[in-house]
């Protein structure tokens, strides 16, 4: 390519100098700029149309949406009932006191007293029939012979008093003169506890050993009640010990001052897993 043509030649002309320009690559490079410019213009047009869609929709909308105001419904409520002060009715008049019972007639009766003859005042002594219809008194008073006899004026007599009942305090004793005893003695009690006790499977798996301390009350008739676990081991051992104590036969009750009383008893339950 000479210098004159080189001054006006493009880059494509330089690249395809002495080559087949009819192959197609040369033409594509020549129209590439046109294609890019055309694509940019189309993209700008589409972007503007997208932004103007709301404006176009508002132009073709026939009616505008009307915001409806909320409807307030007025309800006529009935007037509240008037509060009147309620006056309580007057209390009924108190019952009239019952009339006093009729009073029997009394005849003056003077107890005999040793006096001198000149000091003695002669008085009429009532006979037995008159005393059956009247009461003896310090003065003669007329009354209703059908009225029941009254004991008014009679002071404390000197007759023999009734039997006096001794009152004992019902309580649970800790220590008494004669402590309660298991049938057969203490050795029989420990044998009973050992024979009746069944070690739970949970305690066997855990290898739990130790002492369960229980307390209970031996009543006046020898029954067992109020069983409590004072020191437990868990694993079902406490419940098993309570079950064995509940199944005990009746004890010989404790005594205090010659009377059978309730006594609190404590038993240490030693548990060993073999």
| Structural domain range at position 15 | 3-45
Spatial distance between the Cα atoms of 226 and 217, rounded to a whole number of angstroms: 6
Q: How many CB atoms lie within 10 A of CB 29?
A: 14
Is the residue at 81 inside a domain? no
Spatial distance between the Cα atoms of 261 and 169, rounded to a whole number of angstroms: 10
Q: What is the pLDDT along the chain (274 residues), one digit of tens a residue?
A: 555 565 556 766 667 666 776 677 777 777 888 889 999 999 999 999 999 888 888 877 755 555 555 554 555 555 555 445 556 667 777 777 777 766 666 655 556 555 556 665 666 666 656 656 665 555 565 665 665 656 555 455 555 555 555 555 678 899 899 999 999 998 999 899 888 888 888 888 888 888 889 999 999 999 999 999 999 888 888 999 999 999 999 999 999 999 999 999 998 888 887 6
Spatial distance between the Cα atoms of 253 and 247, rounded to a whole number of angstroms: 17
Which sign does the torsion angle of CA 121, 127, 133, 136 carry?
positive
- Is the Cβ–Cβ distance between 223 and 253 less than 8 Å? no
Same domain, 260 and 195: yes
Tokens encoding 174: 């800790």
Same domain, 133 and 207: no
Surface-to-core class of residue 134, CB atoms within 10 Å of its CB (0-12 exposed, 13-18 middle, 19+ buried) = buried
Same domain, 176 and 141: no
Is the residue at 215 inside a domain? yes
Is the residue at 79 inside a domain? no
Same domain, 179 and 137: no
> What CATH number is attached to the domain comprising 206?
3.30.2420.10
Is the residue at 152 inside a domain? no
Is the residue at 185 inside a domain? yes
Same domain, 135 and 185: no
Spatial distance between the Cα atoms of 12 and 10, rounded to a whole number of angstroms: 5
Is the residue at 267 inside a domain? yes
Q: Into how many domains does the chain fold?
A: 3
């Amino acid at each position: 390519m000479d210098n004159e043509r080189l001054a006006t030649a493009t880059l494509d002309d330089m690249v395809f100098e002495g080559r087949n320009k009819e192959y197609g690559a040369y033409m594509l490079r020549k129209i590439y700029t046109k294609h890019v410019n055309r694509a940019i213009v189309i993209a700008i047009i589409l972007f503007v149309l997208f932004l103007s869609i709301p404006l176009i929709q508002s132009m073709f909308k026939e009616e505008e949406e009307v915001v409806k105001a909320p409807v307030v419904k007025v309800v006529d409520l009935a007037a509240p009932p008037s509060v009147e002060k309620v006056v309580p009715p007057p209390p009924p008049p108190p019952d009239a006191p019952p009339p006093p019972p009729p009073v029997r007639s009394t005849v003056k009766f003077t107890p005999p007293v040793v006096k001198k003859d000149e000091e003695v005042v002669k008085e009429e002594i009532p006979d037995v029939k008159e005393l059956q219809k009247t009461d003896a008194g310090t003065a003669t008073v007329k009354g209703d012979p059908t009225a029941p006899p009254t004991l008014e004026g009679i002071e404390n007599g000197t007759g023999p008093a009734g039997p006096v009942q001794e009152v004992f305090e019902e309580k649970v004793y800790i220590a008494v003169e004669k402590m309660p005893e298991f049938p057969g003695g203490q050795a029989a009690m420990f044998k009973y506890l050992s024979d009746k006790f069944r070690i739970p499977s949970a305690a066997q798996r855990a290898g739990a050993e130790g002492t369960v301390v229980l307390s209970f009350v031996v009543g006046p008739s020898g029954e067992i009640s109020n069983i409590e676990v004072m020191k437990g081991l868990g694993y079902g051992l406490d419940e098993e010990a309570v079950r064995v104590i509940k199944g005990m036969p009746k004890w010989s009750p404790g005594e205090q001052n010659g009377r059978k009383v309730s006594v609190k008893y404590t038993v240490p339950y030693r548990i060993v897993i073999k």
